[in-house]
Amino acid sequence: MEFSVKSGSPEKQRISCVAAGVFESRKLSHSAQILDEASGGYIANLIRRGECEGKLGQTLLLHNVPNTLCDRVLLIGCGREKNFNAKAFHKTNEMVARFLDERGATEVFSCLTELTVKNKETAWKVSHAVQATEDALYHFDQLKSKKESSRRPLRRVVFSVPSRRELPEGEQAVRNGMAIASGITLAKDLANLPGNICTPTYLAEQAKALNKTYREFKVKILEETDMEKLGMGALLSVARGSRQPAKLIAMEHKGGDKNQKPIVLVGKGVTFDSGGISLKPGAAMDEMKFDMCGAASVFGVLSACAELQLPINVVGLVPATENLPDGLATKPGDIVTSMSGTTIEILNTDAEGRLILCDALSYAAKYDPDTVIDIATLTGACIVALGNHPAGLLGNHSPLVNDLLSAGKTANDRCWELPLWDDYQEQLDSNFADIANIGGKEAGTITAACFLSRFTKKYRWAHLDIAGVAWNSGKAKGATGRPVPLLMQYIFDRMEDMGAK
């Protein structure tokens, strides 16, 4: 898709479509008013007759509106003006993209970016409008033998900005939005691929491919023999049941000063989680191909940072393996030694995410990180606690936790803090090893984070449990690309703090 920004009057756009908002009930937005005045009250007249109430997501397509230079005007319902928030903004942009893509308008001048969204400036609106458009038009048909593409797809979207003065920031916002959108698309694509294609080796190859595309990018793949040398007994214990070799993928975007400590992102990369010997029940087990969504988000963020050549150092670490039952698989009761030396009694082989993450988190210390954030589809309990709206957030450094909460709000990709109190730590006590890998049925998301906290004492660390937000089930089954928007916002905010922007 081609995106751009322009400042100009809507009735003067020589383009196949102009999109403008209508609020509930029947209140024209500023741009719709301008179109109406040019047309001599044509639009207001239709609205008065009840053609468009302005309900959120409602559409009305008009052809040959008098005294306009465009072929069509698309009126788009925006709901109540005082409720027009980030979510409604996203939805209306999605509606415009989907509606026009199906109806033969190949280009649009969208005035939605001129609407007031509380506390959001033009750059935010443009970047998010780009992301919403790409989100709406995303489909995963790589593995369909017949592709269902639109006959005359939408190809060019021009976002209206209020003045010429705002063009430079608008153009930068288009670039940011496009890079974030590609990161989201990459995350979705990797996650939507089935487990027989997206194996640990496949993920390693994707990292090498990024390395070819971007200078300033470095990739190192650790093989099982390397993990043995490093003493990564926890990570290796999960891979024992699989015939696919595990990989520890290390990607580095080196955009910042050599002495600047990196932000390290660690993404859970279980390319299929059957539960292992503690086998999962069969219903919806296919969705456990999404158990590498944390890894996918790390790929998405690293590629967006590289695409934008951000002046910051970011490392992505992805421990990748399958979790399968087999004669050699780890059994409940087995005890393994992690890279840190801590011994772990594996009471449930389905609590495998924390086992691969703990060794990756120990390895992260080698980068002398400024901050470490891990992203993982870690616990079903997180869905019970928070549902599908926010990711779970826990951490050992409250400014970092607050930064992530705030980035999530800004990016409309929210997370919510759960308490990482010492009170919960004793649930991990083991009779036979230093710790057990499960903490009983209470507070499962917190005890999983408690487990990780034993391996993250050397640095500032936060954990995002994305079990509830990384993919949709049911008819709209598919990866969401979350939390790429949140992490990108966090990185932008950090760059601002460091004066690197």
| Contacting positions for Mn ion (CB under 5 A) | 273, 350, 352
Site membership for ligand BES, residue 356 (CB under 6 A): no
Site membership for ligand BES, residue 273 (CB under 6 A): yes
Minimum gap (Å) between residue 487 Cβ and Mn ion? 23
SS3 string of 246-315?
CEEEEEEEECCCCCCCCEEEEECEEEEECCCCCCCCCCCHHHHHHHHHHHHHHHHHHHHHHHCCCCCEEE
Identify which of residues 43 and 438 has a Cβ nearer to ligand BES in the complex: 438
Out of 36, 101, 224, 291, the residue judged to bind ligand BES by CB under 6 A: 291
Q: Which of the ranges 171-179, 377-385, 389-397, 480-488 carries the binding residues for ligand BES, by CB under 6 A?
A: 377-385
> Which partner from the list Mn ion, Zn ion, ligand BES, none does 179 bind, CB cut-off 5 to 8 Å by kind?
none
Residue 422, CA distances (Å) to 450, 453, 464 in order: 8, 10, 19
Q: Which of the ranges 104-112, 258-266, 374-382, 427-435 carries the binding residues for ligand BES, by CB under 6 A?
A: 374-382
Site membership for Zn ion, residue 353 (CB under 5 A): yes
Calpha distance 501→484 (Å, rounded) = 20
Out of 160, 377, 453, 489, the residue judged to bind ligand BES by CB under 6 A: 377
Identify which of residues 291 and 359 has a Cβ nearer to Zn ion in the complex: 291
Residue 470, CA distances (Å) to 101, 222, 334, 477 in order: 26, 26, 31, 11
List Cβ neighbours of 165 (8 Å cut-off, separation of 6 or more): none
Per CB under 5 A, contacts with Zn ion among 269-298 are 270, 273, 291
Identify which of residues 11 and 352 has a Cβ nearer to ligand BES in the complex: 352
- What's the Rg (C-alpha) of the chain? 24
Calpha distance 424→450 (Å, rounded) = 7
Q: Are 444 and 386 in contact (CB under 8 A)?
A: no
List Cβ neighbours of 485 (8 Å cut-off, separation of 6 or more): 131, 180, 184, 411, 412, 413
Burial of 196 per CB tally in 10 Å (0-12, 13-18, 19+): exposed
Q: Which of the ranges 247-255, 304-312, 344-352, 413-421 carries the binding residues for ligand BES, by CB under 6 A?
A: 344-352
Per rule CB under 6 A, count of chain residues that contact ligand BES: 15
Site membership for ligand BES, residue 464 (CB under 6 A): no
Out of 52, 88, 174, 438, the residue judged to bind ligand BES by CB under 6 A: 438
Calpha distance 451→438 (Å, rounded) = 8
In the chain, the amino acid numbered 329 is: A
Minimum gap (Å) between residue 273 Cβ and Zn ion? 4
Task: Tell me the HSE value of 45 on the side-chain side, using a 13 A CA sphere.
Answer: 10
For the question of residue 280 being annotated catalytic, the response is yes
Nearest to 412 by CA among 76, 27, 85: 85
Out of 350, 374, 403, 413, the residue judged to bind ligand BES by CB under 6 A: 350
Among the listed residues 280, 331, 409, 458, the single catalytic one is 280
Out of 101, 322, 352, 403, the residue judged to bind ligand BES by CB under 6 A: 352
Residues designated as active site: 280, 354
Contacts with ligand BES by CB under 6 A lie at 273, 291, 348, 350-353, 377-381, 438, 444, 467
